[in-house]
């Protein structure tokens, strides 16, 4: 049977989706994907992401400044984010993609932290959850989230850490984004963690066109493959597929202010 899915993290404003939106959304819908959240990575993408949310009923927007592109973000970008949120465009459901990244060369973590905290303040002001990127920064991010005490929490997307690290976020009220990492047998630590975490803390995502699934390396990821992530999640968990599908749908609707969110 086909279950109902929400892809909580898809960069639908990039190729191969640009110019092919209708066909791509049809492919996703055929796999049961009813809604897609598109997080911006910088101020230059805000208009494109907002236009997608305006033009396509299945698409929702998140606006944020991605830590991997920290050198592109400045006070003007923060002001653009504030202005965009203040105008309250329709279907903006989160601040993000934001977070921390210590994987890249010359990460400039002090600037990353400053930008992240500024985005926390905006999320708090506009009562929105946050979509969080974290690479080699789980402990630092958890500390900053504890300090920020956001009213709407958020999701640590594309999680690839340990059970203990995930539980630290969950205990703060955050959700864990389950994506393509769990499709790789070699990702034993993360697969084991996802198998043990509370089901009520999990949401599904693809990070398309990034984070290809096992067997699809070298190809652009796509939102319909959230159904394949779900299949692997069901293999790792003890609950039946119907229970898992219902739970991740409810979790997503509890976190994000999606329109027509009835189960």
Q: Is residue 261 part of a domain?
A: no
Judge whether 262 lies within some domain: no
Q: Cα dihedral sign for 170, 172, 173, 178? A: negative
In degrees, to the nearest 5, what angle opens at C-alpha 108 toward C-alphas 105 and 111?
Answer: 150
Phi, psi dihedrals of residue 144, rounded to the nearest 5°:
-65, -35
E strand or H helix at 171: helix 163-171
**The pLDDT value given to residue 260:** 47
Compute the chain's Rg from CA coordinates: 17
Q: Which of 101, 78, 82, 100 is nearest to 92 (CA)?
A: 82
Residue 33 lies in a domain: yes
Position 89 scores a pLDDT of 87
Identify whether 150 is part of a domain: yes
- Whole domain around residue 59: which residue ranges? 5-255
pLDDT of 77 above 70: yes
- 143 within a domain of the structure (yes/no): yes
Q: Residue 160: give its domain's CATH number.
A: 3.20.20.140
The pTM of this model reads: 0.96
User: Which residues belong to the annotated binding site for a divalent metal cation?
Assistant: 9, 11, 97, 133, 157, 207
d(CA 112, CA 98): 9
Task: Express each pLDDT in 30-63 by its tens digit.
Answer: 999 999 999 999 999 999 999 999 999 999 999 9
The mean per-residue pLDDT over the stretch 195-213 comes to: 98
**Residue 128 covered by a domain:** yes
Please report whether residue 48 resides in a domain. Answer: yes
CB-based contacts of 220, cutoff 8 Å, min separation 6? 15, 16, 208, 209, 212
Which residues carry a binding-site annotation? 9, 11, 97, 133, 157, 207
Q: What domain count does the chain have? A: 1
177 closest CA partner among 39, 64, 61: 39
How much is the average pLDDT of 100-124? 94
Q: Report yes or no on 23 lying in a domain.
A: yes
CA torsion 222→196→252→184, rounded to 10°?
Answer: -10
**Among 133, 107, 103, 130, residue whose Cα is nearest residue 118:** 130
User: Band of the pLDDT at 108, cuts 50, 70, 90?
Assistant: very high
C-alpha–C-alpha distance, residues 80 and 38, integer Å: 18
């Amino acid at each position: 049977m086909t279950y109902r899915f929400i892809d909580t993290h898809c960069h639908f404003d990039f190729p191969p989706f640009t110019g092919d939106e209708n066909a791509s959304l049809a492919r996703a819908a055929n796999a049961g994907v009813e809604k897609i959240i598109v997080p911006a990575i910088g101020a230059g993408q805000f208009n494109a992401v907002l236009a997608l949310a305006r033009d396509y009923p299945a698409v929702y927007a998140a606006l944020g400044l991605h830590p991997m592109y920290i050198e592109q973000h400045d006070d003007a970008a923060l002001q653009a984010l504030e202005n965009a949120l203040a105008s309250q465009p329709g279907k903006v459901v989160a601040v993000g993609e934001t977070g921390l990244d210590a994987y890249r060369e010359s990460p400039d973590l002090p600037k990353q932290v400053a930008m992240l905290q500024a985005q926390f303040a905006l999320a708090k002001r506009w009562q929105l959850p946050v979509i969080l990127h974290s690479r080699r920064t789980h402990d630092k991010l958890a500390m900053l989230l504890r300090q920020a005490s956001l009213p709407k929490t958020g999701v640590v997307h594309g999680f690839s850490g340990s059970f203990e690290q995930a539980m630290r976020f969950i205990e703060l009220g955050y959700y864990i984004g389950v994506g393509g990492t769990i499709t790789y047998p070699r990702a034993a630590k993360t697969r084991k963690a996802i198998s043990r975490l509370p089901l009520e803390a999990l949401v599904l995502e693809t990070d398309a066109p990034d984070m290809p699934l096992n067997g699809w390396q070298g190809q652009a990821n796509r939102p319909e493959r959230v159904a394949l992530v779900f299949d692997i999640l069901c293999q790792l968990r003890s609950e039946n597929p119907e229970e898992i599908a219902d739970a991740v749908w409810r979790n997503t609707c509890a976190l994000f202010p999606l329109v027509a969110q009835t189960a």
